[in-house]
């Protein structure tokens, strides 16, 4: 082969090699672009799947928090949902097939929707039961209040009747008296001149009281609260609400439900019994205070 032909041959070979090199370079660039694009798509798919999973799990957690799940059946489904979510998370981490993970996500979403439907139904049932229970409690409370009102009214009526059936004294007065020669009596305002104290009052008319013998006790308290006793030898005491009290005068009457004017006397047997000041006079019948007044001596 002459020199010219050799040159042409080598040039042809070089041209072919250059074309092959350009083709290979083009394929290499294309492969790199494909790999980069595929990697980018996979990363986007991973982020998309991860975002969907996180959103689903977050929504599931909110539902549990809102409804405060306590049912055993719902707790079992909750465990299944969380187990499936963990499996999908692992598949995303190892970059499993996008379509496979997507299908599992869709199945998990349907399972979660069923869970939400059941929990919502259970919540509605519980709400209805709570409302029914509230109504029952309200009705019970209302009946209790009615019974309490009836009992209160009955007690108030009984109390009014009991109060109405009490003996009362009115127009109560106390007068200090000096006894002069010939048993003549005159009023006095001085304790040193007082020989006796006249107590006058009227027992009221009351048809609700049982008629019969009534013991009226009169207590006269000095300004220093010491009780003026009837005399210095007798046991001058009576029982009032379980407590033993001294009395100044005891007056027994035969009460026949009609108004009665009564005058009773306390006699001063010792000059030292009286002092200057205001005296309080209280009238008792059984366990009741039926009247009270005061008077002064100087």
According to DSSP, residue 227 is labeled: B
Model-wide pTM > 0.75: no
Band (74; pLDDT cuts 50, 70, 90): low
- Tell the residue number behind the tokens 């001596």, with chain if given: 297
Summarize pLDDT for 198-215 with one digit per residue, the tens.
999 999 998 888 899 999
Q: pLDDT per residue over 222-270, tens digit each?
A: 999 999 987 655 578 899 998 999 999 999 999 999 999 999 999 988 7
Domain with CATH 2.60.40.10 in the chain: 169-297
Instruction: Write the DSSP symbol of residue 46.
Output: H
Query: What is the secondary structure of 91-159 as a DSSP string?
Result: HHHTT--HHHHHHHHHHHHHHHHHHHHHHHHHHHHHHHHHHHHHHHHHHHHHHHHHHHHHHHHHHHHHH
For residue 11, the surrounding DSSP H or E stretch is: helix 3-67
Per this entry, what is the length of the chain?
A: 298
Predicted local confidence at residue 281, as pLDDT: 96
- Lowest mean pLDDT across 98-112, 132-146, 164-178, 195-209: 98-112
Confidence of residue 158 (pLDDT cuts 50, 70, 90): very low
Specify the pLDDT at position 157. Answer: 47
Of 195, 217, 206, 211, residue with least CA distance to 262: 217
Residue 117 pLDDT exceeds 70: no
pLDDT at position 143: 73
User: Which neighbouring-strand residues pair with 198?
Assistant: 175, 265
- Looking at domain 169-297, which of 3.30.1280.10, 3.40.50.300, 2.60.40.10, 1.10.10.60 is its CATH number? 2.60.40.10
Is the pLDDT confidence value at 81 over 70? no
pLDDT of 297 above 50? yes
Q: What is the mean pLDDT of the chain?
A: 77
Of 73-87, 136-150, 281-295, which range is least confident? 73-87
Query: Average pLDDT for residues 99-113, to the nearest whole number?
Result: 70
Percentage of the chain with pLDDT > 70?
A: 59
pLDDT at 252: 94
20: pLDDT strictly greater than 80: no
Stretch 115-133: mean pLDDT: 67
d(CA 77, CA 90): 20
């Amino acid at each position: 082969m002459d020199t010219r032909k050799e040159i042409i041959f080598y040039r042809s070979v070089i041209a072919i090699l250059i074309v092959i090199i350009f083709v290979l370079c083009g394929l290499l660039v294309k492969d790199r672009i494909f790999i980069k694009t595929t990697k980018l798509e996979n990363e986007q798919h991973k982020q998309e799947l991860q975002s969907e999973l996180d959103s689903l799990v977050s929504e599931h957690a909110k539902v549990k928090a809102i409804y405060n799940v306590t049912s055993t059946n719902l707790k079992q489904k909750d465990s299944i949902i969380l187990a499936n979510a963990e499996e999908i998370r692992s598949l995303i981490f190892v970059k499993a097939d996008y379509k496979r993970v997507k299908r599992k996500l869709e199945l998990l979403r349907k399972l979660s929707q069923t869970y939400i439907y059941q929990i919502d139904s259970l919540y509605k049932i519980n709400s209805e039961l709570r409302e029914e229970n509230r109504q029952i409690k309200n009705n019970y409370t209302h009946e209790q209040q009615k019974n309490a009102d009836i009992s209160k009214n009955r007690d108030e009526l009984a109390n009014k009747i009991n109060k109405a059936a009490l003996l009362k004294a009115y127009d109560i007065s106390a007068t200090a008296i000096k006894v002069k020669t010939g048993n003549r009596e005159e009023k006095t305002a001085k304790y040193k001149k007082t020989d006796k104290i006249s107590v006058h009052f009227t027992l009221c008319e009351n048809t609700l009281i049982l008629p019969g013998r009534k013991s009226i006790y009169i207590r006269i308290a000095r300004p220093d609260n010491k009780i003026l006793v009837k005399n210095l030898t007798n046991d001058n005491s009576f029982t009032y609400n379980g407590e033993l009290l001294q009395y100044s005068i005891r007056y027994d009457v035969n009460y026949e439900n009609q108004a009665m004017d009564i005058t009773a006397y306390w006699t001063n047997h010792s000059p030292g019994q009286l002092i200057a000041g205001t005296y309080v006079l209280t009238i008792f019948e059984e366990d009741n205070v039926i009247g009270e007044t005061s008077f002064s001596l100087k």
